[in-house]
Amino acid sequence: MPATAVSCLTLNRLSLYLRCLRQLQRRGVHRISSQEMARRFDLSASQIRKDLAQFGEFGIRGVGYDVDQLLARLRGLLGLDRPHNLVVVGLGHLGSAVARHFASNHRAFRVVGLFDNDPAKIGQELEGLAIRAIGEVAAVVAETAAEIGVLAVPADVAQEVYDRLVEAGIESVLNFAPVQLRQSPRVRCRTVDLRIYLEELVYFLESDGATSRALGKPGR
């Protein structure tokens, strides 16, 4: 199936199924039905079957899914059966945490470059890698064939750094800067703005509180 025919929501659910299957594998579960998987992880059995059916036959009716086989096939579908090199730009608290997380927890993602513009940080080591000046991004990307760039820089420099990554040959960007980037049509970009999610939660907190007060229920 062409990548463009698969929605981001479907891909998000496949990643969720993959996480659940890893937990089952660690617990020694070898076979599971969609109903049992849905019950254990608060999912929808029909949605699981519908999502997997887009990519072919996976389980056996009345028998269920082989956990190891389904795990391997989902890893292949998501491209996680090979390592992907990534660079992290911006080594503040967030960028450093991201770099540590991917360096120690993900075989599918390999951190090959760390960059910052703070002279005090340049030359220091994090997870065995020396932090380099942002001006060296292009050389490192060419040397390591890095595919993914992680932006953890302030909003006022995010566009400049994004453009630098694009020029260096980075193919995908994960942006943590709280800004809407002008994107290149050939580089896929996902922005994670934590403030947006917090503001969404506050909206529902206030809405739920207003509803409770209207119904005469105790407020917060």
140-196 pLDDT, tens digit per residue, is 999 999 999 999 999 999 999 999 999 999 999 999 999 999 999 999 999 999 889
* CA pair distance 37, 141, nearest whole angstrom: 41
Of 131, 145, 147, 150, nearest in space to 192 by CA: 150
At residue 208 the predicted structure's pLDDT band, cuts being 50, 70 and 90, is confident
> Which of the following CATH numbers is that of domain 84-196: 3.40.50.300, 3.10.20.30, 3.40.50.720, 2.40.30.30?
3.40.50.720
CA dihedral (7, 9, 11, 13) in degrees, to 10, reads: -150
Of 168, 176, 154, nearest in space to 113 by CA: 168
Domain with CATH 3.40.50.720 in the chain: 84-196
Cβ atoms 86, 145 nearer than 8 A: no
* CA pair distance 152, 149, nearest whole angstrom: 10
* Fold classified for 3-77: Arc Repressor Mutant, subunit A (1.10.10)
CA dihedral (153, 112, 17, 205) in degrees, to 10, reads: -10
Q: What is the pLDDT of residue 58?
A: 79
Q: What is the pLDDT of residue 6?
A: 81
Domain with CATH 1.10.10.10 in the chain: 3-77
Phi/psi of residue 94, each to 5°? -70, -50
pTM: 0.85
At residue 214 the predicted structure's pLDDT band, cuts being 50, 70 and 90, is low
* CA pair distance 43, 34, nearest whole angstrom: 9
* Residue keyed to tokens 């193919």: 171
